[in-house]
C-alpha cells in the first residue's frame, strides 16, 4: 500500500500523459473526422487531468470548459456543416485564392505593425501579484482573472477577435449552396 501512495501521482501522470500522446496521434492519423474529434476530446481531457495532478485546478477547469466544451462544439459544427463527401469536388473560392493570400499577408503585416510596438506588462510571480481589488490575497481563480482582465486585456481581446474570425470562416465554409 505504501508503494501506491509513494508512486501513485507519478503513475497517474505517466498514464494520462501516454493517453494524451496516443489521442494526439490518433487525431492526425484517423481518417474519419468524427473519430478524430473524439480523439481530440480525449486528448483535451487527459491534459486537464495532468493540470489537476500538478495542482493547477483553474487551468484544468478552463481546459475542460473552453477546449472540451467550446472548441469541440465549434469543431463538431464545422464537421457537420461541411459536406465531406463533396469537399474535394467543390471549388467555391478557388479563383479568389491569390487575392485572399495577398489580403491575408497585408492584414498580418498590419497586425505586426500595430501589435509589435505595444509593451505588455511582465507577469508578477510574487504574492503581491495575487492581490485582489480589496487588497486581500486572492485565490487561484480570482488572481488569474484579476491579472487577465487588468493587465492583459488587450491580448485577451486580440485572441477573442481571432476566434471570431475563425468562427465566421467556419460558417462561410460550411454554408450550403
pLDDT of residue 129: 55
The reply to whether 65 and 132 lie within a common domain is no
Q: 138-141 long-range contacts, Cβ below 8 Å, gap at least 24?
A: 140/56, 140/57, 140/58, 141/57, 141/58
pLDDT of residue 88: 54
- Asked which of 81, 114, 134 is the last residue of a domain, the reply is 81
> For the domain that residue 47 is a member of, what is the CATH number?
1.20.120.1200
Which H or E run includes 10? helix 2-29
- Asked which of 28, 54, 81 is the last residue of a domain, the reply is 81
The reply to whether 4 and 77 lie within a common domain is yes
The Cα 47–Cα 21 span in angstroms is: 10
Q: Which three cell numbers stand for residue 38?
A: 473524439
| Three-state DSSP state, 177 | coil
pLDDT of residue 135: 59
Domains identified in the chain, total number: 2
Give pLDDT < 50 ranges for the chain: none
Q: What is the pTM of this model?
A: 0.55
**Per-residue pLDDT reduced to its tens digit, 43-58:** 999 999 999 998 888 8
The reply to whether 64 and 10 lie within a common domain is yes
Amino acid at each position: 500500500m505504501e508503494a501506491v501512495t509513494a508512486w501513485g501521482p507519478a503513475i497517474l501522470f505517466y498514464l494520462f500523459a501516454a493517453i494524451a500522446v496516443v489521442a494526439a496521434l490518433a487525431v492526425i492519423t484517423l481518417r474519419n473526422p468524427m473519430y478524430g474529434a473524439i480523439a481530440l476530446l480525449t486528448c483535451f481531457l487527459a491534459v486537464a487531468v495532468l493540470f489537476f495532478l500538478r495542482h493547477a485546478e483553474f487551468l484544468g477547469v478552463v481546459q475542460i470548459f473552453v477546449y472540451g466544451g467550446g472548441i469541440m462544439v465549434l469543431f463538431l459544427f464545422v464537421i457537420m456543416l461541411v459536406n465531406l463527401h463533396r469537399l474535394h469536388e467543390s471549388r467555391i473560392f478557388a479563383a479568389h485564392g491569390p487575392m485572399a493570400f495577398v489580403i491575408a499577408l497585408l492584414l498580418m503585416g498590419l497586425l505586426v505593425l500595430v501589435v509589435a510596438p505595444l509593451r505588455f506588462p511582465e507577469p508578477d510571480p510574487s504574492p503581491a501579484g495575487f492581490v485582489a481589488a480589496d487588497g486581500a490575497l486572492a485565490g487561484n481563480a480570482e488572481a488569474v482573472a484579476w491579472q487577465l482582465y487588468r493587465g492583459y486585456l488587450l491580448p485577451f481581446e486580440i485572441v477573442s477577435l481571432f476566434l471570431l474570425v475563425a468562427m465566421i470562416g467556419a460558417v462561410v465554409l460550411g454554408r450550403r449552396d
